Structure 1
Amino acid sequence: MIKLEDVTKSYRNGKETMDVLKKINLEIRQGDFVAIMGPSGSGKSTLMNIIGCLDRPTSGAYYFEGKDISSLDDQELAKIRNKKIGFVFQQFHLLPRLSALKNVELPMIYAGIGKKQRDELAKQALIKVGLGDRIQHMPNELSGGQKQRVAIARAIVNNPKLILADEPTGALDTKTSEAIMEQFTMLNKEGTTIIVVTHEHEVAQFAKRTIVVRDGEILQEDLGRGSTL
């Protein structure tokens, strides 16, 4: 599903060039559940941004479903993000003046889906994540775990092939974190590819593969407890 070949990412800082990613080679299959770990500044978030079509590599090739998308323009990348990828972030990124239902509907508005269908699909997504009784609640009426479940519902409502989660349990307590990771596990069992960036080993243990990034390079790869290999 995803293949990175010699991907580098560099930034100019005055006269100096900073190499954030250095010749990354990585393959992720459809249905994989991958955790990306590494210390602050290791390049893991930059790697996530490139995989999620939020950024472009400086050099190298990025194949998504067999197509090299490294040189696509912003509009073409936006189409891939909207149709193929769901995003979940540490701080939820819910709009405070919209209900859970309306927050989940947002990606479908950008996709041009009509209101009646949006309402139905958003309700189904919220029921799927266990929030069928919180559909009309506002974000300030929800717990941290419930907010993250709304964010997951929003991520899955367009039926994406891939979910990218950036520190999805960083703002949650241990028990709630486990419940959220169980949610990702369930989605993965249904066939969705999951990539989680985390610094927590307990979170990474839910994945089938753990990739450790340090100083812009893949340092090692391990199999997690979710692996069947």
Structure 2
Amino acid sequence: MIRLENITRSFMLGKENVHVLNGISLTIESGEFVAIMGPSGSGKSTLMNIIGCLDKPTEGEYFLASENVSHYNDKELARVRNQSIGFVFQQFHLLPRLSALKNVELPMIYAGISKKERQARAEEALIKVGLSDRMNHLPNALSGGQKQRVAIARAIVNQPKLILADEPTGALDSKTSIDIMDQFSKLNEEGVTVVVVTHESEVAQYANRTIMVRDGLIQSPTLIDRGMLQ
């Protein structure tokens, strides 16, 4: 599903070339549930951005579903994101003047799906995450957990094979966090590949594999048993 070969990423900060990723090689198989952990500044968010085709590596090769996306232009990367990847972020990123239903429809508008099909699929996705009675509510009328469920519904509505979640429970209380992580577990059980970036060991326990990143490198061993995080 995901194969990174010697990925580096550097940025110019003034006159200094700052290296954030320093040669990462990684494989994530289809159907895995993987957590990426690391301290602040470790490079885990930059790694997530490259996996999500939100950024391009400075050097190295990235294969997503056997497709080498390393050197794609912005238009090609946008196509991959829309067709193959669902995103869930810490701050939800819902449009405040649109209902839950309309927010979920957005990715399908960009995909050119008809209005009738958009509505039917958006309703189905919201029912799936337990929001059948909140479809027409605006985001400010929803709790934090409900907003994140809308974000999950939006992420899955185009039926992607890969879900990327960046600190998805960071703005939620512990009980709501459990509910949200259970949603990701259900999606994974249905065959969706799930990759979660987190600094919380409680969240990482839901994954089958935890990848530790420090100083732009993957620490060895990359496979950490759930029991070691308890």
Could you say which TM-score interval applies, normalised by the shorter chain?
over 0.9
Deviation at 1:126, TM superposition (A): 0.1
Deviation at 1:50, TM superposition (A): 0.2
Aligned residue number for residue 104 of structure 2: 104
| Counterparts of residues 130-145 of structure 1 (less than 5 Å) | 130-145=130-145
Distance in 1 between residues matched to 2:225 and 2:91, nearest whole Å: 26
Note if 1:183 corresponds to 2:194.
Answer: no
Deviation at 1:66, TM superposition (A): 1.2
CA offsets, 1:95-146, max 9 Å, x none?
A: 1110000000000000000111000000000000000111111111110000
CA offsets, 1:73-112, max 9 Å, x none?
A: 1111100000000000000000111000000000000000
What is the identity, as a one-letter code, of the residue corresponding to 2:223? D
Distance in 2 between residues matched to 1:85 and 1:56, nearest whole Å: 16
Partner-residue secondary structure (3-state), 1:170: coil
Deviation at 1:222, TM superposition (A): 2.9
Gaps spanning 5+ residues in structure 1: where?
none
What is the identity, as a one-letter code, of the residue corresponding to 1:27? T
| Counterparts of residues 1-229 of structure 1 (less than 5 Å) | 1-220=1-220, 221-225=222-226
Whether the 8 Å contact between 1:207 and 1:224 is mirrored in structure 2 is no
Deviation at 1:16, TM superposition (A): 1.8
TM-score by length of 1: 0.97
CA offsets, 1:37-95, max 9 Å, x none?
A: 01111000000000000000000100111121111111111000000000000000001
Gaps spanning 5+ residues in structure 2: where?
none
Distance in 2 between residues matched to 1:6 and 1:206, nearest whole Å: 28
Distance in 2 between residues matched to 1:12 and 1:118, nearest whole Å: 42
Distance in 1 between residues matched to 2:161 and 2:103, nearest whole Å: 20
CA offsets, 1:174-206, max 9 Å, x none?
A: 010011000000000000000000000000000
Whether the 8 Å contact between 1:206 and 1:224 is mirrored in structure 2 is no
Distance in 1 between residues matched to 2:99 and 2:49, nearest whole Å: 28
Name the % identity. 69
Distance in 2 between residues matched to 1:29 and 1:222, nearest whole Å: 13
Distance in 2 between residues matched to 1:92 and 1:224, nearest whole Å: 30
Partner-residue secondary structure (3-state), 2:17: strand
Deviation at 1:224, TM superposition (A): 4.3
Distance in 1 between residues matched to 2:75 and 2:161, nearest whole Å: 19
Count of matched residue pairs = 226
Whether the 8 Å contact between 1:204 and 1:224 is mirrored in structure 2 is no
Deviation at 1:14, TM superposition (A): 2.7
Distance in 2 between residues matched to 1:54 and 1:88, nearest whole Å: 13
Q: Extract structure 1 runs of 4+ deviating beyond 4 A.
A: none
